Amino acid sequence: MANASNPFRGIRIGSASGAGLAGWQAETGRSPVDVHKLPVTYRCPQGHETTPVFADLAEEEIPEYWDCPRCGRTGTRRPEAVFGDSRTEPYKSHLDYAKERRSPAEAEEVLARALGELRRSRGEAT
């Protein structure tokens, strides 16, 4: 019973989808080229992108959110949309907030100082 832990043994995804397509063609009388395929990119808060392809969906039928296959967080079609409480403000990274609070020159100074501290903590010469 070495393979008892794998319930998917023997199922071939590729051949199954091929049969499914042929069955679909016979059923609908349509060829795959008739189907409007719409790739939609979703981005999760971690920056992972996933692009599921939707067939024959109207714009309003396309899900607004899609679970990230890599980290399980909720991705959105609009990366500028905020995650969390408010959906009116665009999403901002910590760096964006830092930039907002400081002038570009100050931000560079802060960044340089932080880099210097990082190098020192790693024992590198600055």
Residues within the interface to Zn ion (CB under 5 A): 44, 46, 48, 68, 70-71
User: By C-beta, is 50 or 57 nearer to Zn ion?
Assistant: 50
Pairs from 54-61 (Cβ < 8 Å, separation ≥ 24): none
Shortest CB 50 distance to Zn ion, Å: 8
Shortest CB 70 distance to Zn ion, Å: 4
User: By C-beta, is 64 or 109 nearer to Zn ion?
Assistant: 64
User: By C-beta, is 82 or 107 nearer to Zn ion?
Assistant: 82
